[in-house]
């Protein structure tokens, strides 16, 4: 382009376009594609950028439409009667809308719960093809084998898992009453929501995940727990458990208890299932604590079992930065321009970086914990968040630093207990 001398204004511009029109077009297309991809990743990481306004008026309209579909026989669920007729499930407030997802708070028989759905309307979910024809007497038995295959396909798509028939059977209604078809239609809408599928499979298997309490149509209910926030000094609301000043023994004990529970959760997700469960969006807002300081993952939209994680990571690349899927990283093989399917960082490393650094990067100003122990904790968290520096191997370093952190946190609890005598 620089050699296109002697022209002026539009003549010069046209000369340039004529000489490199195809190259410029390809460069423009690549530039545009890069920005589209960047925008998509930005919206997934920060969905609030284009989130619609969360209002009580709209939330009430959404639930009114849900009840209208229930009364019209289009959907069913064990919470529909309480929500739409008995008044035992009452809307309280709108929490947030994200990329179509609706998250509402309600009171169910005096208990605070969260109502969630990936979409606003029941009709937004593709219907179950087996139910599109007219109902036939005795046809329910014919559906069983086909339904099993369809449910298995949805679970495989959502989680990347191949489940046994007995595990799959727990996901759909066994009753053969007059509401069976609408129950299946409702369940099909729920199975198209990855978080519902994951939480349903983890029910009774994990103290660190919320159990699904029930559903109505495409909305499902989980326990309400106050989410963490960077605005909290201890990241999570302690509801008086700290029992004193920000640097007091109460808060120091609460932080040690929460940190130990985070370690327990990491070990649980790494080792207690048939496949490792990867957490790709670790931040205080996605966790909560119970009154006994047990950590609970309250938003698992970005949690993936190993088979699905490998599928996500194995993408085309030109450098390592193309292989970072939020908090889950891989490496780019420049020989084939492909990201490795193996995650190179770990849940523990990200928890240390995103949670523990906030707690242990500076002195706790508590005379109840010795300065030496606080320093050891700080160094252990630094080692955990960046194991061995750029050339380190997080997966190999994880067990060693895990036990070191656990030992130091238990020692801090012993010091706090002795100080309280």
Report the pLDDT value the prediction gives residue 38, as an integer from 0 to 100.
Answer: 42
Q: Read off the pLDDT band of 419 (50, 70, 90).
A: confident
Report the pLDDT value the prediction gives residue 388, as an integer from 0 to 100.
Answer: 58
What average pLDDT score do residues 20-45 get? 45
Q: What is the pLDDT of residues 131-184, one digit of tens each?
A: 766 555 445 544 678 888 898 999 999 999 998 887 887 677 666 677 888 999
Stretch among 26-30, 50-54, 67-71, 142-146 having the lowest mean pLDDT: 26-30
Per-residue pLDDT at 26 exceeds 60: no
Report the pLDDT value the prediction gives residue 10, as an integer from 0 to 100.
Answer: 41
Per-residue pLDDT at 20 exceeds 70: no
* HEC sequence for the chain: CCCCCCCCHHHHHHHHHHHHHHHHHHHHHHHHHHHHHHHHHHHHHCHHHCCCCCCHHHHHHHHHHHHHHHHCCCCCCCCHHHHHHHCCEEEEEEEEEECCEEEEEEEECCEEEEEEECCCCHHHCCCCHHHCCCCCCCHHHHHHHHHHHHHHHHHHHHHCCCCCHHHHHCCCCCCCCCCHHHHHHHHHHHHCCHHHHHHHHHCCCCCCECCEEEEECCEEEEECCCECCCCCCCCCCCCCCCCCCCCCHHHHHHHHHHHHHHHHHHHHHHHCCCCCEEECCCCHHHEEECCCCCEEECCCCCEEEHHHHHHHHCCECCCHHHHEECCEECCEECCCCEECCCCCCCHHHHHHHHHHHHHHCCCCCCCCCCHHHHHHHHHHHHHHHCCCHHHCCHHHHHHHHHHHHHHHHHHHHHHHHHHCC
What average pLDDT score do residues 36-47 get? 45
Report the pLDDT value the prediction gives residue 4, as an integer from 0 to 100.
Answer: 41
Confidence (pTM) = 0.84
What average pLDDT score do residues 58-69 get? 98
Stretch among 39-53, 70-84, 245-259, 293-307 having the lowest mean pLDDT: 39-53
Q: What is the pLDDT of residues 296-350, one digit of tens each?
A: 999 999 999 999 999 999 999 999 999 999 999 999 999 999 999 999 999 999 9
Mean pLDDT of the chain: 85
Per-residue pLDDT at 391 exceeds 50: no
What average pLDDT score do residues 109-129 get? 96
Per-residue pLDDT at 43 exceeds 90: no
Per-residue pLDDT at 393 exceeds 70: no
Residues 6+ apart with CB under 8 A from 79: 89, 108, 213, 214, 215, 216, 219, 221
Please state, in angstroms and rounded to a whole number, the distance separating the CA atoms of residues 9 and 16: 11
Report the pLDDT value the prediction gives residue 12, as an integer from 0 to 100.
Answer: 40
Q: Which residue has the higher pLDDT, 202 or 173?
A: 202
Report the pLDDT value the prediction gives residue 362, as an integer from 0 to 100.
Answer: 77
Q: What is the pLDDT of residues 206-265, one digit of tens each?
A: 999 999 999 999 999 999 999 999 999 899 998 745 444 455 788 899 999 999 999 999
Per-residue pLDDT at 364 exceeds 80: no
Report the pLDDT value the prediction gives residue 179, as an integer from 0 to 100.
Answer: 83
Per-residue pLDDT at 199 exceeds 90: yes
């Amino acid at each position: 382009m620089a050699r296109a001398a002697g022209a002026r204004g539009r003549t010069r511009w046209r000369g340039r376009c004529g000489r490199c029109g195809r190259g410029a077009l390809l460069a423009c297309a690549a530039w545009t594609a890069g920005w589209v991809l960047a925008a998509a990743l930005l919206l997934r990481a920060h969905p609030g950028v284009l989130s619609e306004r969360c209002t009580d008026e709209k939330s009430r309209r959404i639930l009114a439409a849900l009840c209208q579909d229930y009364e019209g026989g289009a959907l069913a669920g064990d919470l529909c009667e309480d929500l739409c007729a008995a008044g035992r499930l009452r809307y309280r407030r709108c929490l947030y809308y994200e990329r179509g997802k609706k998250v509402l708070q309600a009171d169910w028989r005096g208990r605070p719960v969260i109502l969630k759905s990936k979409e606003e309307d029941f009709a937004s979910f593709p219907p179950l093809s087996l139910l599109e024809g007219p109902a036939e007497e005795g046809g329910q038995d014919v559906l069983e084998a086909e339904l099993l295959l369809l449910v298995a396909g949805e679970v495989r798509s959502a989680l990347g898992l191949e489940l046994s028939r007995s595990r799959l059977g727990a996901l759909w209604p066994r009753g053969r009453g007059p509401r069976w078809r609408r129950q299946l239609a409702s369940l099909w809408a729920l199975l198209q929501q990855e978080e519902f599928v994951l939480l349903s499979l983890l029910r009774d298997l994990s103290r660190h995940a919320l159990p699904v309490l029930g559903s109505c149509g495409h909305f499902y209910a989980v326990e309400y727990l106050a989410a963490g926030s960077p605005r909290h000094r201890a990241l999570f609301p302690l509801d008086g458990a700290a029992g004193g000043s920000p640097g007091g023994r109460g808060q120091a004990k609460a932080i040690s208890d929460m940190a130990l529970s985070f370690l327990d959760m990491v070990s649980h997700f790494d080792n207690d299932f048939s496949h490792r469960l990867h957490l790709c969006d670790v931040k205080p807002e996605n966790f909560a604590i119970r009154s006994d300081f047990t950590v609970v993952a309250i938003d698992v939209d970005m949690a993936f079992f190993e088979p699905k994680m490998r599928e996500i990571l194995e993408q085309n690349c030109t450098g390592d930065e193309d292989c970072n899927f939020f908090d889950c990283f891989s490496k780019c093989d420049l020989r084939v321009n492909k990201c490795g399917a193996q995650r190179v960082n770990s849940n523990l490393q990200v928890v240390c970086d995103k949670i523990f650094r906030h707690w242990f990067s500076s002195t706790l100003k508590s005379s109840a914990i010795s300065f030496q122990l606080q320093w050891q904790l700080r160094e252990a968290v630094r080692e955990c968040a960046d194991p061995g520096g750029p050339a380190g191997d997080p997966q190999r370093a994880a067990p060693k630093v895990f036990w070191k952190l656990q030992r130091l946190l238990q020692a801090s609890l012993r010091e706090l207990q002795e100080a309280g005598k």
